[in-house]
Amino acid sequence: MTKLLSALLLSAAALLPAHAATLQADKSDLSFTFKQMGVPVDGKFKKFEAQLDFDTKKPEAGKIAFTVDLGSVSLGDPSFDKELAGSPWFDTKRNGKATFVSTGIKATGPGKYDVAGKLTIKGAVRDVVVPITLANGVAAGSVPIKRLDFKIGDGEWADTSVVANDVTVKFKLAFSGI
């Protein structure tokens, strides 16, 4: 009986992630930049979560999942924030979350990785590759996206001469346990 119990405990321990890390939200940042009528506009998301299971010695075995509360978007003005939550933009009543789930991680240099995955916003799913630098428990980087690929800015807002199609998403995610 003791051997069986020991075998079960060892098997269960093998299933647990060896290098799971915990997001330190108070030390992390998720922001974006786009151009409106040629002028850069910065915004941020106040609520997001990340799950990271990663070993620098075996990056290809790692997994990353990221969820953003789209209702937490802020351009620094409550009226603009309310507009972004509406149906032409994020439509947070029907699409409250954006997600990224990794499908592969590849080392590209010391402390540098390309993370391939599926980005889902407003029901639209796109394959993206996110370059990440990892140092001292902080994963940082940026990724360009096309807002219209995700139906962000439908209808009259689809005119890219007013609001550019290009958006750069920037992040600094602090983790403990990595």
Task: Specify the pLDDT at position 123.
Answer: 95
Decide if 13 is inside a domain. no
Task: Specify the pLDDT at position 65.
Answer: 95
Decide if 8 is inside a domain. no
Q: Which residues are registered as beta bridge partners of 52?
A: 21, 64
107: Cα separation from own chain's centroid: 19
Decide if 9 is inside a domain. no
User: Domain containing 113: what range?
Assistant: 19-176
Decide if 6 is inside a domain. no
- 75 contacts: CB under 8 Å, gap ≥ 6: 41, 42, 43, 81, 84
Task: Specify the pLDDT at position 21.
Answer: 87
Query: Nearest-5° angle of CA 66, CA 98, CA 134?
Result: 30
Residue segments in the chain with a per-residue pLDDT below the cut of 70:
1-19
If residue 79 lies in a helix (H) or strand (E), which one and from where to where?
helix 78-85
Write down the mean pLDDT value for the chain: 89
Eight-class DSSP state of 67: E
* Kind of pairing between the strands at 73-74 and 39-45: antiparallel
151: Cα separation from own chain's centroid: 18
User: Tokens for 108?
Assistant: 């590209």
Decide if 4 is inside a domain. no
Decide if 130 is inside a domain. yes
The pLDDT tens digits for 101-148 are 999 999 999 999 999 999 999 999 999 999 999 999 999 999 999 999
Task: Specify the pLDDT at position 19.
Answer: 64
Task: Specify the pLDDT at position 17.
Answer: 40
Decide if 131 is inside a domain. yes
Domain count of the fold of the chain: 1
Nearest to 172 by CA among 8, 39, 44, 56: 44
What CATH number does residue 153 fall under? Answer: 2.40.128.110
